Amino acid sequence: MLQRKILITGGAGFIGSHVVRLFVNKYPHYTIFNLDKLTYAGNLKNLQDIEQAPNYTFLKGDIAESAYIFSIFEQYQFDAVIHLAAETHVDRSIENPLAFVETNVLGTVNLLNAAKKIWTTSLKQSDAVTPVFYHVSTDEVYGSLDSGGFFTETTPYAPQSPYSASKASSDHFVRAYHNTYKLPVLISNCSNNYGQHQFPEKLIPLFINNILQNKPLPVYGKGENVRDWLYVKDHARAIDVIFHYGNVGETYNVGGQNEWKNIDLVRLLCKIMDNRLGKIAGSSERLITYVTDRAGHDLRYAIDAQKLMHHLDWQPSVSFEEGLEITVDWYLQNQTWLAEVTSGAYQQYYKQQYENR
């Protein structure tokens, strides 16, 4: 079997942990290196079930530190990168844009530079493995849609927030390194993800936690913003397919073809929570509170994933309603995890498990 040494960045985060788990379990002949800074959104407890796997190694580090990035590329001779590490929360980007530039732009360029150096010196074209740099991005780089149309791989970029601007910039750098240095790259742009292990700053886990705490559910504006939602495990499957079968230099959009107005999603979530908690119907919905809209809030995102579906034979595996029920059940069954991440106590796990090794 083909041996690979794959660096997955941001592998302790929400999407990254699902990708790491999938690759570790599905490809025992690969060596998977999980690089994560372990900020507030990175949690090694997300990976407790595979942390002792013989083909898994965790590396604690910051992609914004170029010397460190070059050192681990030299030491481990990665032949592939799946790059998910990023600052992702729009509200945080509005408060502190520079942090998003440092991680999302500078961090990506550091990885590109290290890959370029190693793959043009240490790894030769005659080697059995063809290296690839796979950059995982967002649909937010395309800006905002009105009531019609969809984002395709050729939609012009029009980022509207510091977060999406930083991701758009990183996408451009990845393409530039392909065009200028012939670095073998792949890019995917995905719609909103939901599912297990998502940090409760994002809508669905935040509202699950608030309902449990009987706190207000803050809905921006009138809740009319529309998003295309994709179950996180389906995104991980798409990344697997694109990594192995995508054409170098190309971009693939990943989406669920599953548009929901925010207010309709929240009402569905409230209904599921009332049912699971044995509450009177409509109890959770009374917690909905409309708040001042986010600055520069994009109206609608909607992905056309036909290229991925037709060329690489990928399809979402669950409906949104089914995936949302699975997600709610996981959070209700893992309220200790939820309490720890909201208090910051999960940071102690790294110290206990790794610092004294």
Q: In CATH, what number is assigned to the domain containing residue 260?
A: 3.40.50.720
Domain count, the chain: 1
105-109 mean pLDDT = 98
Helix (H) or strand (E) holding 218: strand 217-220
Structural domain including 44 reads: 4-293+300-355
Q: Give the pLDDT confidence score for residue 349 in this predicted structure.
A: 56
37-65 mean pLDDT = 95
Unique residue bearing structure tokens 């044995």: 278
Backbone φ, ψ for residue 190 (5° rounding) = -115, 155
Which amino acids are annotated catalytic? 139-140, 163
Q: Give the pLDDT confidence score for residue 299 in this predicted structure.
A: 85
Segment 192-209, tens digit of pLDDT:
999 999 998 889 999 999
313-335 mean pLDDT = 97
Amino acid at the residue 355:
E
164-182 mean pLDDT = 98
CA 236, 241, 247, 252 torsion: positive or negative?
negative
Q: Give the pLDDT confidence score for residue 121 in this predicted structure.
A: 78
Helix ranges restricted to H, 140-202? 162-181
User: Is it the case that residue 357 has pLDDT exceeding 50?
Assistant: no
Q: Can you tell me the distance from the alpha carbon of 346 to that of 336, in angstroms, rounded to the nearest whole number? A: 10
Q: Give the pLDDT confidence score for residue 335 in this predicted structure.
A: 95
> From residue 106, how far is each of 85, 90, 112, 265 by CA, in Å?
12, 18, 10, 35
Q: 259-261 and 226-231 as β-strands: parallel, antiparallel, unpaired?
A: antiparallel
92, two tokens = 């945080």
User: Is it the case that residue 125 has pLDDT exceeding 60?
Assistant: no
Q: Give the pLDDT confidence score for residue 123 in this predicted structure.
A: 60
Q: 56-60 and 217-220 as β-strands: parallel, antiparallel, unpaired?
A: unpaired
User: Is it the case that residue 338 has pLDDT exceeding 50?
Assistant: yes
More confident residue, 296 or 145: 145
